[in-house]
Amino acid sequence: MLTFNWLAGCKPTTTKEVLTLPKEWFEMNSYIKIGENGVVSLMSPNPEFGSNVKTSMPMILADELNVDWKNVLVEQADFFPERFERQFTGGSQGIRLGWQPLRTAGATARQMLTDAAAQTWNVPASEITTENGMLIHKASDNKASYGEMASLAATLPVPEEVALKEIKEFHIIGTSRKNVEGKNIVTGKPMFSLDHTKEGMLISMIVHPPAFGMKVKSIDESSVKSMPGIRDVFVFQNLRDDYERNGFDTTSFADMVAIVGNTTWEVMNAKKALKVEWENAPEKTFDVQGWRGKETVVMPAGLESSDGHTYQMEQMSRKAAQELRKDGDPETAFKKADKVLERTYTAPYLAHNCMEPVNCFADVTADKAELYGPIQAPEFIMNALSTSLGMPKEKIKINLARMGGGFGQRAYGHHMVEAALISQKVNAPVLTIYSREDDMTYGIYRPTYTATYKAALDKDNNLIAFHVKGGGIPEHAVAANRFPAGAVDNYLAEGWSLNSNITIGAFRAPRSNFIAGAEQSFMDELAELAGKDPIDFRLELLDRAKNNPVGENNDYDAERLSGVLRLVREKSNWTETRKNIHRGVSAYFCHNTYVAEVLDLEMKDNKPVVHNVYAAVDCGIVINPDAATNMGEGGIVDGIGNALFGEMTFKDGKPEKNNFHQYQMIRQKEAPKSIEIHFVENEHDPTGLGEPLFPPTFAAVANALYKATGKRFYNQPFVHDLETTRMEM
């Protein structure tokens, strides 16, 4: 294992007191070790990218194990599929899918300790209780710490079935606990793979084509080979030609240049000096084994521009599309309508822009490969690593680095394959670093989307027909079975897509991150046309969906979606008016969690200033309330930033923005003055928070902007139309 396990000498970060490390650890299972002095070591299985699973997952283990949180040390697990299930961070599924396995692991260890005490005291296990790391048998006045029983417990058979706690028995879950890495972060400890060093380690940077649709023609090695500190420069190919990809093998450029040297600065200088000739790349067709089954992907030749994309999308939106769902007879209903509203929404490609640029450490020798880098889905890059390196999987070890952000970008592991191949070629440990420019122009973007909504009201302002036709490059964002499907008799959802050689990938709440904003902006305008309050309008429809749903497969719980709308209405004091402050509301269900938001903004010098945001969230049981609130705040701030500013554009295949001076990010001044997150209290199993607060924010912004300026905002990023509004005023 890479020497990143500091347990031997480190101070714990969970407590002010120093925990004395035990002389010996006894392993209960993959997750739990107990020292003879009662100190507990918990493995956090999933890679960490800021959602703080490194605290919340151990909290679940510790609660069922029934220990005192102050006696807990947390260690990051490496990728170890034989010992941990689903080491995947993404899709807001970590806690949701880890809930049962983590509770079971904690309860199992508790049972083994109980059995050890039962054996030692010769009493029935069922009479033994546990509390804060102590085993107690009242009747015989016997007491022991977990530490005393650990060595015996570790030898006992693992029970097949264990009883889990009642929710009311939780003593850690549901309480706010500090980030276990807080102290290390604020004291600048080396925590990221970019911070890694090893004896003999070299630095490498890549050079990728400046535009999509291009490839390497030739390089002039002499331009850099003799520069100070430079060891090697070569062209290499990431994936073998005959390799069958899975959904996370996305690779933007077949071949790239690697420059290897002693220090980052020297390699950066060589990157600037390197002469490369590029040429147009041919069309590429290949199969991908995705989660929807085998798909054929076509990457056309050519150099694409945003103007061309806009034009093509407008053309496509007029053509016939694939029917995704139909209820009743929308065509007739539209003909009979008293009022019809039709609106079109668009959004651009987005770059992830994690603060930590893509990088990976690799040490590949003849008989093994050790990798240490940011990766959300280590399991899914193993095939590519094995094939490209020509090494069996058992010889490849992935150590899970803390990620400086993920947002979906780090689910793709091309950088691991690159780092490994570079290390293999130069026969040395190498840290491969992307510059910010490399990272921002590499691709795997959030796709560009559009959607046209059409709705019909009868003379009593009832919604009688609803039609959504959405498209995008290279996929559409339509979720046909979501609200308002189920709430309207005549419903049609259609989708279309266009091929492109610009690579895309998961971006915080894929597809939802566009369609929620479009749909909830349209709902707002429709409510106004119907002469109804926007929250009342939604609640009426949800009542219909609950009491008398149309069709089956309605992919939401109308009661829970109503619940968050009612809660946000209450907490935001929805009907309150304040001078110059304008309110927008939005509600969405995605990634298993229900969210409703009210956003208050004011226009100052024709710029929106967000004052308050209120969010009502139904994610079932909340593990770590303050950390959950932090996640909610993050999703909202991200939503405001991308709604207002986020945009990647292209000219002749070249991304037009390559650093933060061109790609506008939300900053301290544009963040809301206050955010309140209110969790619905219920006992549903926990669902995630990483993504669900992001999508509804876009419409909350748009709807508030409408109240503030009298104009509707249909095209993201809103900064462009705001500028037009400013110039008109």
Binding residues vs other proteins (CB under 8 A): 48-52, 176, 178-179, 181-183, 185-192, 194-195, 197, 203, 228, 263-266, 268, 353-357, 402-407, 433, 435-436, 626-627, 630-631, 633-638, 641, 659-661, 665-669, 671-675
Q: At its nearest, how many Å lie between other proteins and the CB of residue 460?
A: 43
Residue nearer to other proteins on the CB measure, 23 or 604: 604
Q: How far apart, in whole angstroms, are the C-alpha atoms of residue 509 and residue 692?
A: 7
Q: At its nearest, how many Å lie between other proteins and the CB of residue 352?
A: 9
User: What is the full DSSP assignment across 14-48?
Assistant: S-SSPPPPPS-EEESSSSEEEETTS-EEEEE-S--
Around Cβ 277, how many Cβ atoms within 10 Å?
A: 9
Q: At its nearest, how many Å lie between other proteins and the CB of residue 432?
A: 14
**Look-up: residue for tokens 């880098």?**
373
The answer to whether the bond into 717 is cis (omega within 30° of 0) is yes
Residue nearer to other proteins on the CB measure, 16 or 294: 16
Q: At its nearest, how many Å lie between other proteins and the CB of residue 669?
A: 5
Q: At its nearest, how many Å lie between other proteins and the CB of residue 665?
A: 5
Q: At its nearest, how many Å lie between other proteins and the CB of residue 23?
A: 26
Strand partners, 584: 599
Q: At its nearest, how many Å lie between other proteins and the CB of residue 672?
A: 7
* SS3 at position 143: strand
| Cα dihedral 372, 376, 379, 384 in deg (nearest 10) | -70
> 72 vs 59, 400, 451, 659, CA distance in Å?
9, 21, 50, 41
Q: How far apart, in whole angstroms, are the C-alpha atoms of residue 318 and residue 496?
A: 11
Task: State whether the Cα torsion 706-712-714-719 is positive or negative.
Answer: negative
Q: At its nearest, how many Å lie between other proteins and the CB of residue 435?
A: 7
Residue nearer to other proteins on the CB measure, 450 or 624: 624
- H-state helical runs in 572-646: 625-644
Residue nearer to other proteins on the CB measure, 168 or 661: 661
> 354 vs 351, 408, 510, 631, 643, CA distance in Å?
9, 10, 16, 16, 17
Q: How far apart, in whole angstroms, are the C-alpha atoms of residue 514 and residue 511?
A: 6
Q: At its nearest, how many Å lie between other proteins and the CB of residue 416?
A: 19
Residue 108 near residue 158 (C-beta atoms within 8 A): yes
Q: At its nearest, how many Å lie between other proteins and the CB of residue 575?
A: 26
Strand partners, 586: 597
Token pair listed for 598 = 């009210």
Residue nearer to other proteins on the CB measure, 435 or 521: 435
Residue nearer to other proteins on the CB measure, 190 or 290: 190
Residue nearer to other proteins on the CB measure, 48 or 540: 48
Q: How far apart, in whole angstroms, are the C-alpha atoms of residue 17 and residue 361?
A: 34
Q: How far apart, in whole angstroms, are the C-alpha atoms of residue 331 and residue 348?
A: 31
Residue nearer to other proteins on the CB measure, 452 or 642: 642
Q: How far apart, in whole angstroms, are the C-alpha atoms of residue 665 and residue 642?
A: 8
Residue nearer to other proteins on the CB measure, 111 or 269: 269
Residue nearer to other proteins on the CB measure, 339 or 667: 667
